[in-house]
């Protein structure tokens, strides 16, 4: 994933950001968090933030981790962050 252009940079409230995930994706992440402390940590950090900047290194790392865990595809990660 390349760095976003200035036109692609965007700030999301937590509700806006979570709304970019499908209900199925949110449920999969929630269910995974019940069994995997690392996923629970990702979820907790996301919910504790005041918002999400789509080019923030932590947001990029957390969403990349969701891809590595099979909870998102790389294509969906790109859509969530930049579409």
The pLDDT-based confidence of 49 (bands split at 50, 70, 90) is confident
Nearest-angstrom CA–CA distance, 44 and 26: 13
Nearest-angstrom CA–CA distance, 11 and 35: 30
Parallel/antiparallel/unpaired status of strands 52-53 and 11-12? antiparallel
Residue 74 confidence (pLDDT): 96
The pLDDT-based confidence of 6 (bands split at 50, 70, 90) is low
Instruction: Break the chain into its structural domains and give their ranges.
Output: 22-82
Nearest-angstrom CA–CA distance, 25 and 18: 10
Mean pLDDT of 12-37: 94
Residue 4 confidence (pLDDT): 62
């Amino acid at each position: 994933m390349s760095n976003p252009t200035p036109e692609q940079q965007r700030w999301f409230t937590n509700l806006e950001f979570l709304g970019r995930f499908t209900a199925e994706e949110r449920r999969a992440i929630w269910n995974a968090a019940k069994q995997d402390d690392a996923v629970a940590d990702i979820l907790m950090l996301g919910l504790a933030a005041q918002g999400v900047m789509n080019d923030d290194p932590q947001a990029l790392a957390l969403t990349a981790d969701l891809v590595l865990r099979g909870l998102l595809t790389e294509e969906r990660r790109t859509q969530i962050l930049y579409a």
